[in-house]
Amino acid sequence: MTTTNATGSMAHQQIRSTEKPHRVRATMLLAIVVGALAWPPRANPQSPPPGNAEEGRQLFVRKGCYQCHGREGQGSPTTGPRLGPEPLPLAAFVRLVRTPRAQMPPYTEKVVSDSELADIRAFLETRPRAATIDALVPK
């Protein structure tokens, strides 16, 4: 697993590059096969945006997203809105993180890369839906 430093995204890439050569080759082969099967790319609005949800789970903590939005991206009435399980489309999600409109601090590519944001978004998309609270909090 990656660890971050002040230049989080660079560290992420460096540690990936230390994978054992045979694992890298196998990964490349798999990528080529998957790529070939997927070619030509289709414009399917139902297909999920790219991203690794498990990576995203860890990035969500490491990049501090949970500090305002909660561990599950559930949001807080006082610090940040709910982010999942229906996150913004990836392009809008990235745009909002780079140039937030209100109080959210800006996160540049240097701090969190586009691919990491895709992972985070994938994590948010897998968050469970809300439970009903009626048993504990009757109307």
Q: Is 13 in the site for another protein (CB under 8 A)?
A: no
Give the binding-site size for another protein (rule: CB under 8 A): 41
Q: Using CB under 8 A, pick the residue from 52, 74, 115, 126 that binds another protein.
A: 74
Q: Is 67 in the site for another protein (CB under 8 A)?
A: yes
Least separation in angstroms between residue 42's CB and another protein is 33
- Per-residue binder mask for another protein (CB under 8 A), 108-137, x = binder: x-xx---------------xxxxxxx--xx
Burial class from Cβ neighbours inside 10 Å (0-12, 13-18, 19+) for residue 119 reads buried
